[in-house]
Amino acid sequence: MIKNDLYLKALRGETVERPPVWMMRQAGRFLPEFRELRDKYDFFTRCRTPELASEITMMPIRRYPLDAAILFSDILVVPQAMGMDFQMVEGTGPWLETPIRTPEQVKNIIVPDVDDTLGYVFDAIELTLQKLDNDIPLIGFAGSPWTILCYCIEGGGSKTFDIAKAFCFQHPEAAHELLQKITDTTIAYLKRKVEKGVSAVQVFDSWGGMLSPEDYQVYSWRYINQIVEALSPLTHVIAFGKGCWFALEEMTLSKVSALGLDWTIRPEYARSLTNHTMTLQGNFDPARLHSSPETIRKMVHEMISRFGKDRYIVNLGHGILPNIPLENAEAFIRAVVDWKPN
């Protein structure tokens, strides 16, 4: 039994004394102890070394009273396992020497055995669970098939992902073949994470908002929903789609336990689009953590009163920014922990 199960209660839609809180990208660059490790080991070495990955996962937990841990890793370990040699370039982000630009290349992409290729992630889960000692739940994650496709075709980050979109619209058959291969790998990967003991899995669709509502259904949601269908009998699934507020109604009809929101939607509107029944997660503007601790505290309390304390998980609307002062992150978390109904 997990001692602090506020996060799981919120996912189950149970009544809570206060909402749970965690922060997307909490195991990351805003922490000085993370930056110190970064000088010693390159990014994917940190992901591939279970001792390092589990230590990084614990860094924010040791500092703050968070209600959930998220395993340190990256969404790009999945396409790496499928044969795409992603590097993390300092100052630039993900980079792929030979991006997928032709339908023939899609044929060479494999659906790997996840135990052979991603065993280090499962070992990291095991070590992390020992360190967590059942205090709080551990969240596992994967990128959405669409978001992974974006990186595989683009070869790195982009403001528009127009090369990835052009590929889909010029070669829809090859695009769907690639999306299906990513989906099949992701399902096997997340199932294994659940077997290893994570309490929930979150699917990050960071670039879903690049698509029109119609294309979103065809190129993104259809595949996320396959993951939801496969995993929801086994665990809680949370779908986070950045810029995907237009799809919230369809998402609500699925078997997700919660939906993640970015900061561009009002709580009341998100509640009405999701029938007032769905657990929602979000949606503090990450840049708002540059405000003073007092302002952050006030804004968090207002956010809780607008979403309501039940069926709600306090989080940012996207990952925490690298230059956020430690005391501001702390103010965000403490505002939730100290919250009282009035």
| Residues acting as catalytic residues | 25, 29, 38, 74, 151
Among 19, 79, 94, 267, binds ligand CP3 (CB under 6 A): 94
C-beta of residue 140 within 8 angstroms of C-beta of residue 72: no
Can you tell me the distance from the alpha carbon of 51 to that of 33, in angstroms, rounded to the nearest whole number? 15
Please name the residue that has the structure tokens 């960071």: 206
- 301 binds ligand CP3 per the rule CB under 6 A: no
Cis amide linkage into residue 283, ω under 30° from 0: yes
C-beta of residue 190 within 8 angstroms of C-beta of residue 219: no
Least CB distance to ligand CP3 at residue 57 (A) = 8
In the complex with ligand CP3, the residue whose CB is nearer, 271 or 313, is 313
Number of residues that bind ligand CP3 (CB under 6 A): 23
In the complex with ligand CP3, the residue whose CB is nearer, 259 or 309, is 259
- 24 binds ligand CP3 per the rule CB under 6 A: yes
Q: Which residues pair with 200 in a beta bridge?
A: 139, 236
- 194 binds ligand CP3 per the rule CB under 6 A: no
- 141 binds ligand CP3 per the rule CB under 6 A: yes
C-beta of residue 128 within 8 angstroms of C-beta of residue 140: no
Least CB distance to ligand CP3 at residue 157 (A) = 5
- 27 binds ligand CP3 per the rule CB under 6 A: yes
Residues 231-290 that bind ligand CP3 (CB under 6 A): none
* Short-list 258, 245, 254, CA closest to 202: 258
Of 12-20, 73-81, 104-112, 174-182, which part binds ligand CP3 (CB under 6 A)? 73-81
- 123 binds ligand CP3 per the rule CB under 6 A: no
Of 23-31, 124-132, 212-220, 274-282, which part binds ligand CP3 (CB under 6 A)? 23-31
Among 74, 250, 285, 330, binds ligand CP3 (CB under 6 A): 74
Least CB distance to ligand CP3 at residue 231 (A) = 17
Q: Which two tokens stand for residue 115?
A: 């135990």
CA-to-CA dists, residue 100 to 149, 164, 183, 223, 225, angstroms: 9, 9, 17, 19, 24
Tell me the pairing of strands 138-143 and 93-96. Answer: unpaired
Least CB distance to ligand CP3 at residue 193 (A) = 13
Of 22-30, 130-138, 210-218, 275-283, which part binds ligand CP3 (CB under 6 A)? 22-30
DSSP code per residue over 62-76: HHS--S-EE----TT
Among 2, 4, 13, 29, binds ligand CP3 (CB under 6 A): 29
Residues 38-67 that bind ligand CP3 (CB under 6 A): 38, 43
Reduced to 3 states, what is the DSSP secondary structure of residue 257?
coil
Can you tell me the distance from the alpha carbon of 315 to that of 33, in angstroms, rounded to the nearest whole number? 22
Pinpoint the alpha helices (H) of the chain: 6-12, 32-40, 43-48, 50-63, 77-81, 103-107, 114-132, 145-154, 162-170, 172-196, 213-216, 222-231, 248-252, 267-273, 293-307, 326-337
In the complex with ligand CP3, the residue whose CB is nearer, 198 or 271, is 198
Please give the residue ranges that form the binding site for ligand CP3 (CB under 6 A): 24-29, 38, 43, 70, 72-76, 88, 93-94, 141, 143, 157, 204, 206, 319
